[in-house]
Structures are given as structure tokens and as C-alpha cells.
Amino acid sequence: MASPQPWLARLAIFRKPRPGEPLSLKRQLFDLAWPSLIENMLQTMLGVVDLIFVGKLGADAIAGIGLGNQLMFTLVVAFMGLGVGTTVLVARAIGAREPQDAHHVFKQSLILTVALSGILAVLGSVLGEPVLRWMGATPAVTALASEFVRITSLFSIFIGIMFIGGGTLRGAGDTRTPMLITAFINVVNIVLDYALIFGNFGAPAMGAIGTAYATTIARGVGSALILLALFRSNRALVIPLRGNWQIAPPILGRIMKIGLPAAAENIGFQLGLIVFSAMIVGLGTADIAAMNIVFNIGGFSILPAFAFGVAATTMVGQSMGAGNVPRAEASAWQALKTGMVWMCIMGLVYLAARAQLVGLYTTDAEVIVLGSMLMIMVGLMQPFQAVAVILGSALRGAGDVRATMLITFFSTWCLRVGLGYFFGIVLGLGLLGIWFGWCSDFIFRAAAVLLRFRTGKWKTMKV
């Protein structure tokens, strides 16, 4: 009879360690990953709640807020890149036991955030309406979406503070504080959506545009809380309010050395996703519906990969800062191993219950058939997505951001878009052919990231 001890040992990561007991590598990764997983779910819920409330107002309201959110996401990817640069440098500083460097990095990132938010406010106010007209939106949708973009871009500094504040805390090893703050602003957003969209609690009935004010106020509250945590109290890194506020070009250069490629990678991927989706739009309503449903379902399985990716970024960065390359490598492999288990289980669920999952969204027989076909691809791609996301995050944690940028550019544009167009449009295979491109993207990206990681070039990166 097999001994139960190996299984008990695996479950030990869920046990609270005894006083003075050192944390295992698995436990450290788990402690970093689970709050990130919940935070990612909560971040997703912000948009879901907005659309649920707005959906009661009709198709124009849904389309306007949806397009507005898409346009704002394209603008704020710059903050995402800045957040990556901040996380990596803070993790390095913490690993090297030089918290004063982490203080300086955060303050310089905050200065960059203020400058960048001013630029985004101008871009959102000036370019929002022309871009929406170019996209072919109706006048009613254009008016609503452009107003949404104008309001949210004017206060984009709140988004920036959330990104770099959260990135600082994660780099220092604190993923719980960002999670708790995100949970709180979800509650604030729900209450304000209910009040401002429909005129409840004595508030003015602002219609769909009320969600722009609700989300902006919620983010304002979140940014205030994250600054309070950083300057006053958190369990990882308290930043002194005085000193180091003058512009420091060397540190700004280090942040941008990592942040600019990370931002470019996100922009390239997002634009490729728009083109990929546009190809499917031309196929017909059933194909569009199937794509949207499958993307929605598939979004749940990718969240564990992102969570363990955050853990890998932090652990690799801190280990590299401490000069402990073997620990950095072990952290990356352990994060991949654990994340892979989660995603493979999800892949099996997708394969076994594909029709039932798609059927939760629609009763249209054609959409269910198409969606079920795509779910097979999504299920089979789970291991490749795990490698691409988690080991890619580990490379970024080591500062190897140019490699991940080039890999993402090539796989997105040459394979997802290029092969998708060739198989789907040129050869006439339709939705199935376009999704061959999607599969080839993740297969190549996983292989390229794995090869890059195994070469060990990231071990000598200077940031």
C-alpha cells in the first residue's frame, strides 16, 4: 500500500508555519501567488460589474462603455510597463538588502507617473473621438465612448499610482495589500455604479457615463490607500516621505530600460489582438459570438498563470538582487511546475465540458458548435500558455525584457495574425484557420521562452 506521506508533504504548503520555521520555496511562491490570483479576479470584476449595470440601459450603452474601456486600456499599457520596471528594480533592491534603493526607485517612478498621466490626459481628450469615428462607431456610441475616455484619461494618474504602487509592494514581497485594496475598491465601485448610473441614494441619474465617474472615484480611493500603505504601514516596505524627490536621471534610465520594452510588448500584443479579432468580425455574427464566449471562458484559466508569473517575477528579482542565481532558477522552475498543474487541470475541464460551458452563454446551436471547437484548442494550449506566461515573467524578473518583447512581437504578428490570416482567409478555413494562428502563437512563444530561459543569458543581466 502506497504511503500517504508524499501527499501530506505536498499539502504542507497550505499549513501555517510554526514560529521560527523557515519558509520553503513552495510556500513562499504560494504566499505570493494566491493574493495575486484573487487580485486578478477582482480586477476583472471591475469591468464585469460595470457592464452588468450598463447592460440594463441597452446596446448603445454596452458598446460605448466597452469601446471606451478598450481605448483606455491601449493608453494605459504605458503604466503597465512602468509597473514592471518598478517591480523588478524594487525586488532587486530588497534582495540586495538595500531598501533605500527601493525607496528611490518608487519615488522616481511616481515622478514618471505624474508626467505620463499628463500626456495621457491630453491624448485621451484630443484623440478619443477621432479614433472612435475611424473605428466606425455610430454617433451615439462615439459620443458616449469619447466622454468615457475623456473622463478616465483626465484622472489616469490614479491608474498609474495603482500600477506602480502595487508593483512596488509586489517587488518587496507583499501581494496581500494590493489584493485587499482591490477588494475594497470593488465594493466602492459597485455602490457608486448603482448610485450614479440610476440615480439612487440621492445621487444624480447620469446613465451609462456614471460608470466612468464611479470607476474613477474608486481608483482614486485605491490610489490613496496604496500610497498610505507605502508611506505609513505595510508588512514589506515603508517608504520615508522626506528625501529623494529630485529627478535622478540614472534611476529614471534604469526604470525606462525595463519599462519601455515591457510597455512596447504590451502595446504590440494588444494591437495584434485587435487585428486578430477584426479578422473574425468579418466572418459573421456566430463566429464573433463564439470568439467572445471562448475568450471569456479562457480568461479564468489564464489567471493562475498570471498569479504564479507575479510570484516568479518577485522571487527571481529578489534572488538576483541577493546574488543567489541558483535560487532564482529554482524559483522559476517551481512556479512553472505549480502553475502548470493548475492550468492542465483547467485544460481537462475545458475538453470534457466544452459544450456545456459554451451553453452557459447561449442556446444558439451554431455558436455552441463553433465555441466547442475553439474550446478544444484552448484546452490543448493550457500547458503552452503556462510556459509562455510564467517563464516569461521569470525572464522579466531577471531584467531580460528585450527578449520577451521580441518573442511576443514575432509570435503575435507573424503567427497569430499572419498564419491566422493565411489559414483562415487565404485558404478559406474560416474561424478554425484563424485559430490555428492563435495556437501557433502560444506553441512558438512557449518554445522560445523556454529556450531563452535555458540558455541562462538572463543570469548575467545588469539592471
The model's pTM is 0.84
pLDDT beyond 80 at 20: no
Q: Of 227, 232, 228, 201, nearest to 214 (Cα)?
A: 201
pLDDT beyond 50 at 224: yes
Tens-digit pLDDT profile for residues 114-142: 999 999 999 988 888 888 787 667 788 88
SS3 content of the chain, % helix, strand, coil (to 5): 85, 0, 15
pLDDT of residue 17: 56
Q: Alpha-carbon distance 408 to 213, whole Å? A: 34
What does the pLDDT average to over 65-74?
78
pLDDT of residue 60: 77
What does the pLDDT average to over 50-72?
76
Q: Of 41, 54, 63, nearest to 213 (Cα)?
A: 54
Give the 3-state secondary structure of 114-127.
Answer: HHHHHHHHHHHHHH
Contacts of 30 (CB under 8 A, 6+ apart): 13, 14, 311, 338
What does the pLDDT average to over 288-305?
81
Q: Give percent above pLDDT 90 in the chain.
A: 57
pLDDT of residue 215: 92
DSSP for 369-385 reads HHHHHHHHHHHHTHHHH
pLDDT of residue 131: 80
pLDDT class of 364 with cuts at 50, 70, 90: confident
Q: Of 367, 358, 339, nearest to 297 (Cα)?
A: 358
Is 51 or 232 the better-scoring residue by pLDDT?
232
Place of cell 482567409: 425
pLDDT class of 279 with cuts at 50, 70, 90: confident
Tens-digit pLDDT profile for residues 443-460: 999 999 999 999 999 999
Q: Alpha-carbon distance 45 to 37, whole Å? A: 13
pLDDT class of 281 with cuts at 50, 70, 90: low
